[in-house]
Structure 1
Amino acid sequence: MNIATDTKIKVNGLDLFYGDNQALHGIDLDIAPNSVSALIGPSGCGKSTFLRTLNRMNDLIDSVRINGTIKVDGQDIYSPESDIVSLRKRVGMVFQRPNPFPMSIYDNIAYGPRIHGQKKRAVLDEIVERSLRQAALWDEVKDRLNKSALGLSGGQQQRLCIARLLAVEPEVLLMDEPTSALDPISTLKVEELTQTLKERYTIIIVTHNMQQAARISDRTSFFLNGILVETDQTDKIFTNPNDQRTEDYITGRFG
């Protein structure tokens, strides 16, 4: 089996500690390329903590300690040779609440490419249009690119944040409850967007919405108390899970 093509991300024996408190216990998980993987489970069960290990966002917390390995395309992202800046360009994060920069729509999208050294206006114009088109936002904002991004609706702001991420050409999109602050119509647009984007990217989404996980994901992983209880094809998880705890959660008996 060719790990570079059959597995985009491979997690083995992942433990994570906040000081003396163990938040993740021996996580083993393979993520396929060009797929949507949903992480479900009750609040505080380790979903977001796990998501943040995939681009080393937890490194920003002093007390965090990690055992085990996470490999992206076969490369250990926690090895001393790993370049965090390069990793976060390849593996980007969309947060729960939209966080556009207080600048124009254009400058929000051009920000990343400029940081990485792109100064040519014609190239930046092309990147901005391409990224906004990929995020299904171009037609809504093409006549107001120089207006403040803060004037957009919540749903538009979230798609802008996705476009900002796409502008630096990542390979993996991490989404931490990206629709929890959005109205139903905006939520639907983001969900539809994931189905388009998975043709080019690998997407991992944390969601508390069971229906959303069932609608948009190819595989679903159920977390409970920092343990990965089971992972499988999404239709299998929702119709015939292997573990009673999974069934109890998805049928609403707890969580």
Structure 2
Amino acid sequence: MEKKKMETINLNLWYGDKQALYDITMPIYEKKITALIGPSGCGKSTFLRCLNRLNDLIPNVRIEGKVLLDNKNIYDEDVDVYDLRKRVGMVFQKPNPFAMSIYDNVAFGPRIHGVRDKKELDKIVEWALKKAALWDEVKDELDKNAFALSGGQQQRLCIARAIAVKPEVLLMDEPTSALDPISTQKIEELMIELAKDYTIVVVTHNMQQASRVSDYTAFFLMGKLIEFDKTDELFLNPKKKETDDYISGRFG
């Protein structure tokens, strides 16, 4: 039986008076990749940001319902948001390395969480860059500014930075939308590799990508979860007409 790592229960969200998510109840299984698909503006990224409370940073956002991480509601008052974001990391749509060296980008999180020993930091940086399939390309130029890397390398650096603090869940918001096909393939291979150790939730506009990399897929429309199922089942045998229309290209 697959174990739930996270789960949302009757999750609703408003931006001011405008409701953006409606009663989303959905499991996220441990060490699996869950893809969120649907047309632009359907609530995928908003939902993703609920999973590590990034929406807290937006004024006039109101959230009702529960988001459970190992059966604990992350919106409870006693939850430390910094600790939560260490456990639930995020990789954004556009690569966003910090204006510092490759080494310092990866060491940034561990330093914030108290790692000071140089040997320990060296080990973490090497481990994370290897995990992100970037070590062989940058090991001789770790002091180089991160902006000197290509777009695909920058995105893998951001993944290395996210995993350097050993999160349990990795959220990815369209991580390949700004990348060329070769870089996209590398990131997809990396996601499949990382899912051996991490629970991954990825927002993607690319349905082929969802079918290639994910174990489960959730189809969102107008802020509602229309269908959630194993990826093969959802693409080959959708239960809802809206899902069938979307994946066959009749709208969206």
What TM-score, normalized to structure 2? 0.99
For the residue of structure 1 that corresponds to 2:165, the secondary structure is coil
Question: Residue 137 of structure 1: CA displacement?
Answer: 0.4
Structure 2: give runs of 5+ residues left out of the alignment: none
> Of 9, 12, 19, which aligns to 1:22?
19
Structure 1: give runs of 5+ residues left out of the alignment: none
> Of 30, 40, 44, which aligns to 1:47?
44
Q: How far apart in 2 are the matches of 1:29 and 1:238?
A: 18
Residues 1:252 and 2:252 aligned together: no
Counterpart position of 1:134: 131
Q: How far apart in 2 are the matches of 1:100 and 1:47?
A: 23
Residues 1:88 and 2:53 aligned together: no
Counterpart position of 1:101: 98
Q: Which amino acid aligns with 1:96?
A: Q
5 Å-filtered alignment, 1:1-255, equals 6-255=3-252
**Cα deviations across residues 121-140 of structure 1 (Å, max 9, x unaligned)?**
00000000000000000000
Q: How far apart in 1 are the matches of 2:9 and 2:105?
A: 36
For the residue of structure 2 that corresponds to 1:48, the secondary structure is helix
Question: Residue 37 of structure 1: CA displacement?
Answer: 0.2
Q: Which amino acid aligns with 2:40?
A: S
For the residue of structure 2 that corresponds to 1:8, the secondary structure is strand
Q: Which amino acid aligns with 2:141?
A: R
Question: Residue 189 of structure 1: CA displacement?
Answer: 0.2
Q: How far apart in 2 are the matches of 1:93 and 1:113?
A: 15
**Cα deviations across residues 4-25 of structure 1 (Å, max 9, x unaligned)?**
x711001100000011100000
Question: Residue 152 of structure 1: CA displacement?
Answer: 0.3
Question: Residue 62 of structure 1: CA displacement?
Answer: 1.4
User: How many correspondences in the alignment?
Assistant: 252
State the identity as a percent.
Answer: 63
RMSD over equivalenced CA pairs, Å:
0.8
Q: How far apart in 2 are the matches of 1:82 and 1:62?
A: 20
Q: Which segments of structure 1 move beyond 4 Å, counting only runs of 4 or more?
A: none
Q: How far apart in 1 are the matches of 2:48 and 2:7?
A: 13
Q: Which amino acid aligns with 2:77?
A: P
